Every structure is written in structure tokens, then in C-alpha cells.
Structure 1
Amino acid sequence: MFKYIDLFAGAGGLSEGFIRENFMPIAHVEKDKYACETLKTRLAFHYLKKISNLESYYDYLRKKITRAELHNLIPQTLLQSVICSEISDNSFADIVTKIDKQEIDVIVGGPPCQAYSIVGRARVRDEDKKNNDPRRFLYKQYIKFLEVYKPKLFVFENVPGILSAKDTDSELFIKKMKTEFEEVGYTIDFELLDASNFGVLQKRKRVIIIGWQSALNLRYPDFSIGTIDNSTFEVKRDILDDLPNISQGESWNKFTYRTTPTAYLNSFGIRTEEDVLTWHIARPTNSNDRQIYKLVIEKWFREHKRLHYKDLPEDLKTQKNQNVFNNRFSVVEGDLPFAHTVVAHIEQDGHYYIYPDINQLRSITVREAARIQSFPDNYFFEGTRSAAFRQIGNAVAPIFARVVAIKIKEMLWQINSNQYLLKNIESDLLQDTY
């Protein structure tokens, strides 16, 4: 079984893809306390599934047992493998002492993307503050882990903006990173990939950097093999319609579904017969916003166009600056094969993710956001509603993560195959010598 460490793990979306492909997590490192609790809960799910005791996990989701009681059902070493710490020069040595020292096949992770994202950079007008944002240099911490554990491969995930972000000397960060990875013995290559091409019902472009020890005879995998045609899917019909209709500010606490799961939910493992429904909670909205929601929904389904803020009736406008974020009110594309990208800003408000139904004037629930991100219904997010939204918005879509894991597994098999052939050749040479 291949072993990996997940850095900047978040809620574990990337890790989920690797676990589904039978990789063994040795450690998850994450600074957000709620995300760390989510990781522990997910590890509990996988452990209890392995020992055929998922009923205890579902008892936890139904609030029949406490989190402490859930944790008592799994090995404490598993809980300790989640290291809740910021990765920095000050914490690095302590983090390493907490990770069981053994052979690691892969390191995966994606440092916080806000410093690289085009939108994030645009929001920071102070050039000195922008250039000295410490998050821009977290890849150097990633490199330190490579030097300690020397994995055969690594996966570094980030936003498209990392390809255009520049250092203070106007050198592209991606070029700088490539040089520094090579200096510690790794060759890298990268590609801009869209999760919607791999079964995720969301337009979500991400740069996937893959590195391997330079001595290995490898090349970047072909992601064009394994793409999925999403054209027959519809977001609302295939991943939202089985959920109960609720109003703004309402929480669904019955743990039940409205209808049976769709073929999409079944085939992609998002909902199973055993699942209980959690986090189907809608934000409250005021009457002014609900009037805007109604206009936005009507325009989308009538014309397939966005209603810009500047075009709203004057009596509904509450923002002074009407030229910034004109698309702040957007409906989820329920009648298309994919929704627009779910981002961490969803923790602030839901105006950019209006539910696609004129009869439900609300933003999407936590569970609906999780589904758009391809998280299974048995994935439970710890913390407040805002914390859950933030974890989902920052995550790698698990279905896409599994595709990455499959490609990494193929590369590891190739390494093992090459090493086996080399060993046999060396053995034959020795026999010929003697």
C-alpha cells in the first residue's frame, strides 16, 4: 500500500481521492481547527467502514453519540496523525517530530491559494503588502518536507493564477518554483485542468503540478485519458433534486431525503442507501435580497443571462459602489451540466450561489455546496456553518482528486516495474560474471 503525507490538508478533499485509491495517509497537516476536526471525523469514517462498523458513524451523524464517543472507537494514533498546526519556519521541526518516520511514496497538498489567485491579488492594492504576503512563499515549506521525506513523487495543487503570479523581480513564480524544486532533486511539470472534464458538475480549473525524483524515468501523466462527457447531466436534476425543499433560514433536521438518489449520485458514490442527510441548512435572507434573488432567477431561466447589479431597480440597490463585483448576485446553473466555481467567499454570504428555483428564494445549503464540490453525503464538516462553507470552498473536489490519485498510482507502479527490471538485469549480469 502506497503511503502519503497531506500538507495544507484543509478538509481533506485531495486526501479523499487518494484514500479511495487505497493510499495510506501517514499524516495530515492543517492549521484550521475546524478542518482538523473534519479530518479526524473522516478518518473515523474510513476506519469504521474498514472494520464493518459504519452504524456507529451514522449514530454520530444522528447525534446519538458524541464526538468523544466516536473518537473512542478508533485508534488514538489515527487521531494523532492529524497535526493541527500552521506550517512555518517556527513550527517545521515540531511537525516533523510528530510524523512517524517511514518511507513515504507521495507528498500531496496545496498551499493557500489567495496570494496567487487573480481576484485575490486584485483586492490587495498595496504592492509591498502583496509582494510580501507570506503565503506566496509557502511552497518553500513544501520543499523542506521533500528534503526530509524524499518521496518518489509529489502533487502540488493550486489556482490558475499561480501561472501568472510574479515575484518582486518580475520573474514568474512558477518558473522560480521549478528551479527550486530542481535544486532539491525533483523534476516537475504541470497542466491546467478543469474538474468538469472528470465528472464534477462544476467548472473548477486548477493547476496540478506533479514532481518526481529526477533520477526516475517518468513523464507527466496524460489526463486526457479518463475524461468524462458531462453533456447529459444537469446540476439541479442530477445532484440537487433529491434533497428536501426548504426555505431561507430553515434547517432540515430529519436526516431523510425527498426522493431516491439519481443515477449520477449512485454512480459517483455521492449518496448511498445508508446515508443520512446532514448540513441541509439554508442561510436567512432579508426581503430585499429575496426580491433580487427572484429577478436573478427569472432572468437566468428566461434568457440564460446574468442580472448585473447596476441593472437592478434603484430601490433594491444597497451598495454605493456599483462598478465592482457586478455579478455579486448569481444563480447556480441548474439546467446546465456544471455550476460555476465554488470558492471560499461562500462563507461570507450566499448571493453568488442562489438556488435555481423560483419557489425557494434562498442561497444553497452547506450540503448542496458540498455536492457541487462532489463530496459524498457521508462526509461531515465540523464547526460552524460559515466554517463548513469555508472548508468546502477551499477544497479539492474529491472526484477530481481520485483521478489525480489514479495517475499517481500508475506512475508509482511504473517506478516499481522499472526497479524490478533493473534488479533482474543486475542479477543476470552477476550470474554471467561468475
Structure 2
Amino acid sequence: MRRQHYEVPLERSDYLELKRHRNSCKPENFGKWLGGFGAGKRLAVDLFSGAGGLSLGLERAGWTVAAAVDFDERALQTHAANFPGMSLHMDLGNPDERDRLVEMLAPAKIDLVAGGPPCQPFSRAGRSKIRSLVEHHGRDPHDRRKELWSAYLDVVKRLRPRAVLMENVPDMGLGDDFFVVRTIEEQLEDLGYATQVRLVDAWKYGVPQHRKRLILLARNDVERFSWRQELEHDQRTTLRDAIGDLPVLSVVPTERVGQRELPYDEPSELSKFAQDMRKRARKDRVWDHMTRRVRKDDAEIFSSMDSKTLYSEISPELQRYKADHFTDKYKKLDWADLSRSITAHIAKDGYWYIHPDQDQPRTLTVREAARVQTFPDKFRFAGTRSDAFRQIGNAVPPLLGEAAAEALLPVGDEQPSEGGLQPHWRTVRRDLTAWAEGRRESEDWYQLPGEQMSGLQAAVVAILSGTRIQPAQLAEMVEVVRGRTSLSKAALEALTAAAPSEAAKARVARLAAVIGKSSVWGDEEQVREQLKLKPAEATVYRLLVGEDLLWVGQGALRVAARLHGSDSDRTNRLSDGRVDLVKLVGAGEDAPLRMAALRLIGSSFCRAKEPLCELCPLSKYCVARESVSGDLFTDALTGTHGRETVPTRTREPGRTAGRR
């Protein structure tokens, strides 16, 4: 054991070997397992399982994990010790390995495929490649290591389970306009699955930490996703509820903190959460309540902090890092609040997870981190202390997995239909596409991508998009350049003459930079630079030339929110608002057309006040119609001649209006 210059021993903890679960099995005796322990059980497969956080959630919800697959050997040792079935070391990026897995599972009736494939956001430049990968089952050897979501989808397509559950970080969707998520949903809908995407705050399902995750659900028996009631703020599990019963550890700087095994004395009052965590654990013992040694200066710092202390507020003589670069280097947790999100970074250092007790100047232990992730005390982690921290940080919180899985439980005796489901939102998108195609051939051609829309017309609309110009005036201006693929001086003069205001003329003047430059229009980046397009203008331009993206404007968000019966256009616009929008935009060649159509509907019919519902092509699907108040709304529905046009109210199955 060597020492660093600041006299803290660098130690590697002992290696914990775990025995396999008594009902685990290997591929060679899987058939026997199916006829024995697995007989009559609802079976699931967990891909990219890690240590088994999602597996435990599935188990709590009523499934038995027949097979878990991962490439991390330590995590698989943990899984094999805590679960029955097969824990398989496989590289799912390899098509041959997927073939082997599907063949292995052929004798089983798999009800659910779950998993959290690593999903990196993809640039727009690579999206045609992604579509090719999906269509060919991800069998491109150059991309198989990166597009593991495509490997996940390949297994789903070949096993055809009744239900599908995919979990990932929100960045998977927010980083690329939900392109990958939309693509996966489209592929599942093609197979007859109804789908749902939600951004879920884990604390609302009992997890004692700030953690937001993206959940994609799919099923082919019924179009219903019934989530349990979310917890209110005053019902959340606090850090004291989560770990307050664990033994107090004596902290002596530079000395070992905690042990693999310590006595446990249950307090007279135990939180409901702690009671759940202690089930089937040894009554008088707690395992893995240990963490890193503490430096002398860190012990002093930890003791002087509270949950609101910033690193810059620590005594300068104790600071080892530049305070302007490491503003959140240290974070002391609060007994009365949630923990910050437990991530795999906790395996490197615990400065984000300083224990809230002033008398315990240390970072969280393995057991405390496991509790915050909602692993029960009976759950052990194979390997060293750092291995355990990494497995815990990479895991899906089991209580979140349980809540998501419950939404996929069978409903009565419903069985998958032969032809699959025709999901509600697929029908909505079909009608939206048909309406948009018709409007593209009418006076609204300049608002929608299509054959008539060249880069020049898109640029004119884009640079005028922020002005208070009336639709009729904009249409008149775009008519000046209709059919043109480049701009002449005479056309610019005609555009300027048609501009109804000085502000509009100033916008049009920017087009002088591209007079006679026909080559510019083939490069969006050149268009943006030459015309000095602002971000919002560039987005409109890209949308109108047919690029697949989400236009997160207020009008489109309002349409999506009203159809879902939510308030996502007013709260959480950039997260929940986008999720609602995704259902209407979908994926495929017509996605840009639908996105532009929603922009048009939001500005023309689905207005914030006095909505013209009788003219809206999506009115019959609108959940929020009944909540729009005022006589003007009624007038809009009945018309001046009293014609009643209110269709039957519809709502997404399993969703409550106004609640996410």
C-alpha cells in the first residue's frame, strides 16, 4: 500500500466473491430451468442489465428474469448472485452474439424485453445512416459498438414479446430532437405495438434522489399504460428516511471508514422506506457499510459545511482546487431533502455525496449509495468497493423500474392480436399528414416543405418569421420568388417593394448577400452564415427545406399539450413539451411535413385565445377542448349558423388529462 503526498493511504478494498443464486442456470440447462423454476412464470429478458437494478424492478412488479445480458463481468457476477435464470456475458453489438441469444431463448415464451442500451445523441448528418441501420437490424460492423440501441431493437423484433421497456437518460432524446426515440417508436408501431415515452422524476416513485430518466414503453395487447399515482412533494422519501437508521461510523482521518460487516441495531421508529430495504436482510447485521478514507483537511471541510455551502465559501487555506473552476466540487447532502443523483462517478470520488451528519465527516458508503438507489440491504455487489460504487451508479433504481414495469402488466385476458394494434397516435399522425399534404397544394404552400419549397423561399419565410407581418402579406411576398431557385437583383427589389413595414424591409435587405449565388442554397451552413440567420430563423429555414427536427415553438407546443390534455406548453416546455410533441411528429419521411403543419396549426387555429377549433384538422382528437373556457370557444365550435361540430371526446388510453 503506497501513500500519496498528502498522507492518505491508497487502498484497494477486499474482493467480494458471491455465490450464484440457487435458482440460476446456464445455457446448457435452460430447458430444464424452464420446466422447473421457470414453469408458469411471466418471463422477462433484461438487456444491458448491469448489476440488475431494472431486473429487481421487474421482479418486484411480478416478472421472473429468464436471462440478463451485459458485457461487464463484475456486474454479471452481482446479477448471477441475486437473481434466478441466466446471467450472460455477451457483446450485443456483435450480430453473431445476438443470433446466439435469440436461439438460446427460442424455447421460452418471453413476455417482456427490458433494458437500458447506451444511447448517444446523433447528429443530423448521420440520420440517414441510422435509418439504414434500423432497417437492416443494426448489422453494420462499423457502427455496432456505438448503435447499441439498434441492437436492442433487433432483439425485440426477433423475440416479439408482448411488452417492451427501455430506460435511458433524457439526453438521449433532448440531444438530438428525440430522433433515435422517434425512430424506435416508429419501428415498434410498424410491428403492431402501441408506445409511450415519458420523462420521469424518480423521486415521484419513492426514489430518494433527484434523478430524471427517459422511459419508453410498448405493448401489443392493449393500448393502455396505467402508471401508479405519483407522490406529492411532501410524500417524498428524504435522505433521513433512506439512510438515517444505518450505523453511525466513527471517522478518524486517514483511517479505514466502515467495514464489510457491521452490527445493526434497528431503531424503535423505522421509516416505511427503511422497512422495505431491510426485508429479508439479516436482522442484526448490515453489509458493505464502508467508504474511502478521509483526508485531514477534508474532514475539517466536511464538518464545517452545510447543504448550501459552495466550494468557493470554504476557507481558502483548505481549498485544493480553483474555486472559479470547481464551483460544485463539494456537495454536502441534506437530511431533510433528496440526494443528488447517484452516478457512476461516485466510483472515482465521493465529494458530491458528503454525509449530512456533522459528526460523520465522510462521503456516502456503498450501502448508503445502494439505499439511495433503492437496492435493499440483502442485495450484495461483487468485486471491490469501487466496483460496487460503479455498479450502483450505473443502475436503474429498482423502485423506478418497478413503477415503469407495472404500467405494462397484462390487462385481464387480453392477448396480442394477430394484426397488431393500430395505435391512437399513429392514427393522429396519419390524419395530420393527409391534411398537410392537401394544404401544401393550396395557398399555404410556403409554410410547408415540399417540391414547391426551394431554399430561397424558405429563407424568405425564415428571415420574416420574427416580424409582425400578417399571413396574407407574407404570402404575397413569397409569391414574388415562387419557382425561383436563386435570387436576382430585380427579385430583391420586388420583395422590398412588397414588404409592408420598415422592419420587414430591413429583414429583406439581408438577402442582398446571396444575389446571384445559386451554389449557396445547397449548404445550410452557408445560408446561415451569408444571411446571418439567428438560431430561431435557422430552425425555421431547416424545417421548411425538409430537415427532420423538432420546432419547439409556443404554437406547436400548445397544439401538442392540448391534444394530450397536459400543461406542457406552460411548464417544462423543453422536456415534457418535447415529449408531447414527439407523439405528433413521429419519424419517417413525412416527419418534417408534420412538424411544419403543427407550426401552421398553432399559429392559425390553435391560438392561445379564441381557438378556431372547427377549422383545426386535429379537433376530434383534442383532450383539452372541454377545458377551454368562454363563449368565444363555443361560437367557434358551433359557427355563426349554429352548426354543432364537436366530435366525440378522445384521450390517450391510460392517461389522465392535465397530469403527467
Q: Shorter-chain TM-score: which interval?
A: 0.7 to 0.9
Q: Would the aligned equivalents of 2:168 and 2:215 in 1 still touch at CA under 8 Å?
A: yes
Structure 1 197/236 Cα, relative in aligned 2: closer, same or farther at 3 Å?
Answer: closer
Match among 268, 278, 286 for residue 276 of structure 2: 268
Alpha carbons 2:70, 2:88 under 8 Å: kept: yes
Distance change in 2, residues 1:159/1:270 (3 Å): farther
Q: What is the CA distance between 1:194 and its match in structure 2? A: 1.2
Query: What is the match of residue 391 of structure 1?
Result: 391
1:15 to 40, 51, 55: 55
Q: Taking structure 1 as reference, are residues 312 and 419 closer, same or farther at Cα in structure 2, changes over 3 Å only?
A: closer
The Cα offsets for residues 73-117 of structure 1, whole Å up to 9 and x where unpaired, read as: xxxxx4xx110122112532233344353221110011136x359
Give 1:251's aligned residue.
258
SS for the counterpart of 1:382 is coil
Post-superposition Cα deviations, 1:255-282, rounded to whole Å, max 9, x if no partner, equal: 4214336132455344456443111002
CA-based RMSD of the aligned residues comes to 2.8
Q: How does 1:7-406 map to 2 (within 5 A)?
A: 7-43=47-83, 78=85, 81-90=86-95, 91-99=97-105, 101-112=107-118, 115=120, 137-166=147-176, 172-213=179-220, 216-219=221-224, 221-223=225-227, 225-229=228-232, 231=234, 235-248=238-251, 249-260=256-267, 262-265=270-273, 267-272=275-280, 274-275=282-283, 276-297=285-306, 300=307, 305-307=308-310, 309-320=311-322, 322-336=323-337, 338-406=338-406
1:275-332 deviation digits (Å, cap 9, x = unpaired): 43111002112122223323333xx2xxxx241x334333222235x44452121012
Give the distance between the partners of 1:284 and 1:240, measured in 2 at CA.
Answer: 20
**Distance 1:200-1:188 versus aligned 2 partners, 3 A rule:** same
The structure number with the bigger radius of gyration is: 2
Q: After TM superposition, give the deviation of residue 160 of structure 1 in Å.
A: 1.3
Q: Deviation of residue 373 (structure 1)?
A: 1.0
Matching residue's letter, 2:70:
E
Task: Report if the CA contact (8 A) 1:234-1:335 is conserved.
Answer: no
**1:387-430 residue CA offsets vs partner (Å, 9 max, x unmatched):** 11111111111122222222211xx225x33679xxxxxxxxxx
Q: In 2, Cα distance between the equivalents of 1:310 and 1:200?
A: 30
- Relative distance call for 1:134 and 1:327 in structure 2 (3 A) is farther
Q: In 2, Cα distance between the equivalents of 1:84 and 1:290?
A: 41
Q: 1:4 to 1:234 in 2, by over 3 A?
A: closer
Does the aligned pair in 2 maintain the 1:306–1:327 contact within 8 Å? no
SS of residue in 1 equivalent to 2:257: coil
Q: Would the alpha carbon gap of residues 267 and 385 (structure 1) be closer, same or farther in structure 2, given more than 3 Å must change?
A: closer
Match of residue 408 from structure 1: 408
SS in 2 for 1:268: helix
CA contact 1:163–1:172 (8 Å) conserved in 2 = yes
| Cα distance change, pair 253–144 in 1 and its aligned pair in 2 (3 A) | closer
Give the letter aligned to residue 383 of structure 2.
G
**CA–CA distance in 2 between the matches of 1:185 and 1:419?**
9
The reply on whether 1:6 has 2:46 as its aligned counterpart is: yes
Higher relative contact order structure (alpha carbons within 8 Å, sequence separation ≥ 6)? 1
Following the alignment from structure 1 to structure 2, what is the Cα–Cα distance between the partners of residues 251 and 98? 43
Query: Could you list the runs of 5+ residues in structure 1 that have no partner in the other structure?
Result: 45-77, 118-131, 421-434
Q: Deviations over 1:135-159 (max 9, x none)?
A: 6521100111012211111000011
Could you tell me which runs of 5 or more consecutive residues in structure 2 were left unpaired when the two chains were aligned. 1-40, 123-141, 418-660
Q: Distance in 2 between matches of 1:257 and 1:231?
A: 29
Change (3 A) 1:285 1:273: closer
User: Would you say how many aligned residue pairs link Structure 1 and Structure 2?
Assistant: 352
Instruction: Name the CA distance, whole Å, in 1 between partners of 2:184 and 2:305.
Output: 42
Q: 1:253 to 1:217 in 2, by over 3 A?
A: closer
Q: Which residue of 1 aligns with 2:564?
A: none
Q: Secondary structure of 2:171's match?
A: helix
- Percent identity of equivalent pairs: 29
Partners of 1:177 and 1:234 in 2: CA distance: 34
Q: Is the 8 A contact 2:199 2:215 kept in 1?
A: yes
Q: Is the 8 A contact 2:162 2:416 kept in 1?
A: no
Cα–Cα, structure 1 residues 265 and 102, in superposed 2: closer, same or farther, change >3 Å?
Answer: same
Normalising by the residue count of structure 1, what TM-score does the alignment of the two structures yield? Answer: 0.74
In structure 1, C-alpha distance between the alignment counterparts of 2:106 and 2:304, rounded to whole Å = 56
Contact 1:199 1:228 in 2 (8 A): yes
